[in-house]
Amino acid sequence: MDSRENKSIYEYLFTGEPLPATSGPPSNGAMLGPLPTTIDSDERRDRLRRIATEIRRSVVEMIGRAHAGHIGGDLSATDTLATLFFAVLRVDPQAPRDPKRDRFILSKGHCAAALYSTLALRGFFPTQDLATFMQPLSALNGHPNRRKVPGVEANTGPLGHGLPIGVGSAIASKLSGANWRTFVILGDGELQEGSNWEAAMCAGHRQLDTLTAIVDRNRLQQGARTEDTNRLEPLADKWRAFGWDVVECDGHDHQALFDAFTAPRSGKPVCVIANSIKGKGVSFIEDRVEWHHKVPSPDQVKLALKELA
């Protein structure tokens, strides 16, 4: 047996040893890797749906075990994460710092559980490490840390920071003549932070067509609906006014997301407004404002996992 099979994330963090391509199976026993590029749209949609369900189950278990997390936003962004990491991003778990890799930034860093689940299933670190989520001294903190977790590009959590970092990443790609792309997931409530619009203006001015901003448009934020807190609409028109192309799609339709992320570029940055449902997949969590950071009880965890079976 390969001696690397039983190593945890902590044994790879600072040694420089390559990570295993698939570090451990998810609960259904399947080994997950990038989807073949030759499959048709129906098969791609079906496979991504099953991967997203596995991620959602993992998120529920992690937050239930840790008694902390942001389950609503995790579940709304899961389909975007599954589509990116299993069908779009050019990344290699064995070489997470490959200079030619695509960059992904989770600006809504409080939804780290969904990112960690995705990274583990994709093979960046062993799935058993997910059990340490938010435990003392765990690398899997409540917000992602690029120094501790392979596959994390930026430390995020303070809202409004991810897109400016992404703009810098896209500028670096352009200056170096490289063709790697940068994708950033933002919360819609996060767009009430002015730093996002400074970054959007810069990206439009520089015509950063390797940059994609993805707005997880679930219309809920901590304590209220976005439109009651600080109205965002007409959101698409605002992005266009800053020099961006805009695509609006169903944030839970994997093929629609795939098409939006892989469409030919017109020389402008792209904003994908992914219309989503906070808490997607669990009936008693869906579109409920209190589940921004409410934690499910043990009985609710069982019920949620039953719904996600």
pLDDT in tens, 161-204: 999 999 999 999 999 999 999 999 999 999 999 999 999 999 99
Q: Is residue 156 part of a domain?
A: yes
In angstroms, rounded to a whole number, what is the distance separating the alpha carbons of residues 44 and 37?
9
Structure tokens at 142: 């409540």
Q: What is the pLDDT of residues 77-120, one digit of tens each?
A: 999 999 999 999 999 999 999 999 999 999 999 999 999 999 99
Across the chain, what does the average pLDDT equal? 91
In angstroms, rounded to a whole number, what is the distance separating the alpha carbons of residues 189 and 197?
13
Q: Tell me which residue has tokens 């749209």.
A: 41
Q: Tell me which residue has tokens 């939006």.
A: 260
Cα→Cα distances 27→113, 120, 131, 244, 307, Å: 16, 12, 13, 41, 16
50-57 mean pLDDT? 98
Domains identified in the chain, total number: 1
138-152 mean pLDDT? 97
Q: Is residue 256 part of a domain?
A: yes
In angstroms, rounded to a whole number, what is the distance separating the alpha carbons of residues 245 and 237?
10
In single-letter form, the type of residue at position 143 comes to H
Q: What is the pLDDT of residues 225-280, one digit of tens each?
A: 999 999 999 999 999 999 999 999 999 999 999 999 999 999 999 999 999 999 99
Q: Is residue 123 part of a domain?
A: yes
Q: What is the CATH number of the domain that holds 300?
A: 3.40.50.970
Q: Is residue 23 part of a domain?
A: no
Q: Is residue 3 part of a domain?
A: no
In this prediction, residue 233 carries a pLDDT of 97
Give the domain range for residue 143.
40-307
Q: Is residue 221 part of a domain?
A: yes
pLDDT at 7 over 70: no
In this prediction, residue 220 carries a pLDDT of 96
Q: The whole model's pTM is what?
A: 0.90
CB atoms within 10 A of CB 55: 32
Q: Is residue 174 part of a domain?
A: yes
What is the largest distance, in Å, between two alpha-carbon atoms of the chain?
57
Q: Is residue 35 part of a domain?
A: no
In this prediction, residue 33 carries a pLDDT of 80
In this prediction, residue 298 carries a pLDDT of 97
In single-letter form, the type of residue at position 46 comes to D
pLDDT at 10 over 90: no
Cα→Cα distances 84→23, 80, 130, 133, 203, Å: 19, 6, 20, 22, 21
